[in-house]
Amino acid sequence: MITNGQNQESLVACRFCRSEIPVSALKCRHCREWLGDRSENQANLAAGIAGDNAVAGEAALLQLPPASFQSRLAARVSFVGYWTFYFALSMLLYFSISVYWTFGEEDRIFLISFFLNAMQMFFSSAGLVWFEKLLDRFRNEIPVITGWSREKSESYYLAARERIFSAPLPIAIGLTICTIAVFGDRYIIGTPFKSAGGELAYLAYEFCFLFWSASAIVYFIKLAMFIREFGDLDLRILIIQEENSGIRLLGKFILQTTLFAVIPYVCSIVARHIGGWNFGSLLAVWFGLFGVAILFYLFWPIYNIHRAMIREKDRKLNLISHELNELLSGKGLDHDKIHKLRNLMEIRTHLHEINTWPFDMNKVVGLLSAVIIPMASILVDRMLSSK
């Protein structure tokens, strides 16, 4: 509490720059940010915020129907969760080929490869359902980021959601890719099996598990295009905000979905490394290009938002510098000015340290390692074993 003559008013921290401001302030005098959501009618700002919060609460409770074919399939078995459903489905596929392998003449070391392929299928399919639900959480942040009305934001999001998760294209491309992979393994790369029966069993298995990963790739491309398009809008970029809100939530979403792209990628590489599979230059190029695609997915969709965050950071630093110059150019420094000067210096230091990519760069380094290390270690092992 502070006392200024006969007036006594509480101070709170600005949610954008953390400087002290009166609790009744509508706009921060330091960073010039409005403290409430932008409204089409600023005269009714307080009423608009209260109404939006009520609608947001209702929207958070509204569950959208399943959109992707993966989530629609899992929803048919409503008595179990989608993680359990897809784990059971991938294990059923794995046990079917395990039975064949147990009574056949092929080396059982390949069962480890097949298990990793089943995990690849599991994470690709169940991860897609999780990724759809995660994106539905982001829809409540669109009015805050864009300043749009709730109705306009919902309309925009529902149209984008339908475009991202429309099923025909992912199914068609998924079937095409796994067909090409099967023919490529059969006639170009080759398989390490002794019998024609073992080879045919594996190729049928490959067609089934690879379909889920191949169709998931299409969804990820569609999502990347949506986020890139979203970054081109007139956004309300806030560089200082909580991790689970606004642009930061979108960045966290990109990071998490990238992780779910890396897990099947690593499973596929390790599966090919077990049991003497042919890991020649053609296959190395394929996995290398796929690793580059994962990194491209991490940075390309969010790049426009990154540039907007840089501009906003520079704007705030210029405002702080202007206030510092005004303070230092005045005559004398009383106690209040010294306190304000110290506060502005702390804010400027904090602004300089802010990351303008909307995700934790330490986690990005971990993801880069997860993409690069498996591929590099296998290539080094192959080179050493060939000498």
Both structure tokens of 295? 């990194």
Give the pLDDT confidence score for residue 315 in this predicted structure: 87
pLDDT at residue 85 is higher than 90: yes
Closest to 120 in 3D by CA, of 257, 253, 270, 252 = 270
Indicate left, alpha or beta for 3 from its phi (over 0: left) and psi (-120 to 50: alpha): beta
For residue 209, which amino acid is it?
Answer: F
pLDDT band at 70 (very low <50, low <70, confident <90, very high): very high
**Contact at 8 Å (CB) between 284 and 268?**
no
Q: Residues 218-247: what's their mean pLDDT? A: 82
Q: How far apart are CA 269 and CA 297, in angstroms?
A: 19
pLDDT at residue 340 is higher than 70: yes
For residue 263, which amino acid is it?
Answer: I
For 375, how many CA atoms within 13 A lie in the half-sphere containing its CB?
Answer: 19
Q: At what angle do helices 246-273 and 196-231 cross, to 10 degrees?
A: 160
Poorest-pLDDT segment among 2-6, 143-147, 325-329: 2-6
Per this entry, what is the length of the chain? 387
Site of tokens 């992912």: 170
Q: How far apart are CA 269 and CA 177, in angstroms?
A: 17
pLDDT at residue 3 is higher than 70: no
Q: How far apart are CA 205 and CA 248, in angstroms?
A: 40
- Give the model confidence (pLDDT) of 276-335 as tens digits: 777 777 777 888 888 888 889 888 998 988 888 888 888 888 888 888 888 777 776 677
Which three-class secondary structure state does DSSP give residue 22?
A: strand
Both structure tokens of 189? 């790369």
Average pLDDT score over the chain: 81
**Contact at 8 Å (CB) between 19 and 343?**
yes
Buried b (16+ CB within 10 A) or exposed e, 115-144: bbbbbbbbbbbbbbbbbbebbbebbbbbbb
